[in-house]
Amino acid sequence: MNAPERAPVNPLERLKDKGLLKTQSFIGGGWAAGGARFAVANPATRQVIAEVDDVGAAGAKAAVAAAHQAFQTWRKTSPFERAKVLKAWHALIMENVHDLAVLVTAEMGKPFREAQGEVVYGAGFVDWSAEEAKRIHGETLPTPFPGSRGWTIRQPVGVVACITPWNFPMAMVTRKCAPALAAGCTMVLKPAPETPLSALALAELAKRAGVPDGVFNVVCGEAEAIGPVLTGSDEVRMIGFTGSTEVGKILMRQAADGVKRVALELGGNAPFIVMDDADVEAAAAGVVASKFRVSGQTCVSANRVIAQEKVADRLVEALAEKVKALKPGDGFAEGVDIGPLIHDEAVARVDALVRGAKDAGAKILAGGRRLDDLGGAFYAPTLVEGGGYDLDLACFEIFGPVASVYRARDEAEIIARANDTPYGLAAYVYTQDIGRVHRLSEALDFGMVGVNAPMVGSPSTPFGGVKQSGIGREGGKWGVEEFTELKYVLLGGVEG
């Protein structure tokens, strides 16, 4: 699984199956053109690699209509048949890992090795959801009425509109769409304008797998035109979104008029806690794995490393060595650890956070600068220490390759510092004390806690946050149940 050696003018020339490169929206089982087009650029080179049709509000309305019509049949399709179709989709994704990874690296920049890992990870949600389609259960219930029986059934919500981000352009699609389809819902997907090619390739594979026309639709274009159609349509019964808390709040307000269900996976500010009994070397490796994956552009990246004073010096020393060893560059180049940020605006934002910390007295122990000489939207892998917990670097999601380290005295202070944020997605704890494992896991106000583990997501486990980090869960049985309505049935007169 190594990156190809050849360096073509356009990275999309690496595709073995050129039929996976689509530049039109997928509506009702066919490819739909738009009146305008927008450019998709490789952030490692700033080169335009494709132009994609913008179908606007009209395309969104057509997709909703197609999904609504298809729902009438798909909802009644046997869960075993739905599972069969999803299994076929999964098999095709796995057969095309190389090409799908090419698309991911070309349009969002992550190293090719990471992109391959994302495709496999995303395929896992399709496979898991296919199995869960056959395990959507109801219950029999006791009733207070003589001669009656009660039970529950789970039924699909209806047409679901999902808006996915650019940082995981494959996995965020499958993590939402596969469980929705498994539950019997139909889907209108709007991918990020930075990374539409991955979603369109998945649509092509879904078509080849036998997903019926109208069940899975992908609309590309400006959010300002498409979003209000999806949130305002009476035929759309649920909105799913992964992205910033600010945009999530807007979608939630728009969905409120139709009392639509929302599933929101929003921003994070993950603490990475290293206690004084931790394996410091393992903790340092964990910070690097958590923080610098996707160049720090994940919602569960370690945002604040909080070290107990006794081990802080050793941790900082180990981290500085590891961060300095990371190699930034084009994701298709051999040996690259850190790809570009998604665009130049992201680089400017990260640089401003680091400069603000430095001005406030923080020490820059590695990196701390733009890498304009690399020809793309690059920022150096960076390690910052100190400057105070009130820094923007500590209070806001960095979304870049910057690890910041803070010191704390004891367990009580660490818990207070970690919870001092409106966000509550993921937290990490490194300790070898089993009592601390329980105390900290229970005290941390986050939806997910990784103990001696730098990553928390998988197809079989619940993923989601509390507070302003979102509503609902993805993954496991919970991810499929998210797309169902629970109905209670009471039957009287059973005994005459």
Q: What is the pLDDT of residues 262-317, one digit of tens each?
A: 999 999 999 999 999 999 999 999 999 999 999 999 999 999 999 999 999 999 99
186-190 vs 216-218, strand pairing mode = parallel
Strands 236-242 and 30-32, by their bridges, are: unpaired
pLDDT for 63-121, tens place per residue? 999 999 999 999 999 999 999 999 999 999 999 999 999 999 999 999 999 999 999 99
- Helix H or strand E segment including 197: helix 196-209
Local structure of residue 12 (DSSP, 8 states): G
pLDDT surpasses 60 at 473: yes
Strands 159-163 and 25-27: unpaired
> 42: which residues sit within 8 A by CB, 6+ positions away?
11, 49, 106, 107, 109, 376
pLDDT digits (tens, 9 = 90+) for 228-264: 999 999 999 999 999 999 999 999 999 999 999 999 9
- For 149, phi then psi, to 5°, come to -135, 150
Flag whether pLDDT at 357 surpasses 60: yes
Look at residue 355 and tell me whether its pLDDT is greater than 80.
Answer: yes
Spatial CB neighbours of 494, under 8 Å, sequence gap ≥ 6: 147, 148, 149
Q: Rounded to the nearest 10 degrees, how much is the dihedral formed by the CA atoms of 102, 104, 109, 114?
A: -90
Under a CB-based contact definition with an 8 Å cutoff, are residues 478 and 135 in contact? Answer: no
**How high is the pLDDT of residue 7?**
55
Among residues 476, 477, 483, the alpha carbon closest in space to that of 154 is found at: 483
Rounded to 10°, the helix 196-209/79-95 angle is 120
Q: Quick one: pLDDT at residue 9? A: 78
The length of the chain in residues reads 496
pLDDT of 3 above 60: no
Q: Please give the CATH topology (third level) of the domain spanning 270-458.
A: Aldehyde Dehydrogenase; Chain A, domain 2 (3.40.309)
Residue 5 has pLDDT above 60, yes or no: no
Residues noted as catalytic: 265, 299
- What is residue 490's three-state secondary structure? strand
pLDDT at 8: 57
Cα torsion 250, 300, 126, 173: sign: positive
What burial class does residue 487 get, using C-beta atoms within 10 Å of its C-beta: 0-12 exposed, 13-18 middle, 19+ buried? exposed
Q: What confidence tens digit (pLDDT) does each residue in 396-436 have?
A: 999 999 999 999 999 999 999 999 999 999 999 999 999 99
Q: Residue 496: its pLDDT value, please?
A: 67
Helix orientation angle between 97-108 and 112-132, rounded to the nearest 10 degrees? 120
Task: Work out the pLDDT band at 4, boundaries 50, 70, 90.
Answer: very low
User: Residues 376-385: pLDDT tens digits?
Assistant: 999 999 999 9
The domains spanning 11-266+470-486 and 270-458 adopt the same CATH topology: no
Q: Band of the pLDDT at 6, cuts 50, 70, 90?
A: very low
Which is the CATH superfamily of the domain at 11-266+470-486?
A: Aldehyde Dehydrogenase; Chain A, domain 1 (3.40.605.10)
Is the distance from CB of 108 to CB of 40 less than 8 angstroms? no
Please give the Cα distance from 267 to 260 (Å, whole number): 21
Structure tokens at 395: 């209070």
* CA-to-CA separations, 265 to 16, 188, 394, 448, 468, in angstroms, rounded: 34, 18, 21, 12, 9
Contact 293, 426 (CB under 8 A): no
What average pLDDT does the chain have?
A: 96
Give pLDDT, residue 35.
86
| Residue ranges of domains in the chain | 11-266+470-486, 270-458
Tokens of 156: 């699909």
Question: What's the whole-model pTM score?
Answer: 0.95
Q: Compute CA 330 distance to the chain's CA centroid, rounded to the nearest angstrom.
A: 22
Q: Which two tokens stand for residue 344?
A: 């130049």
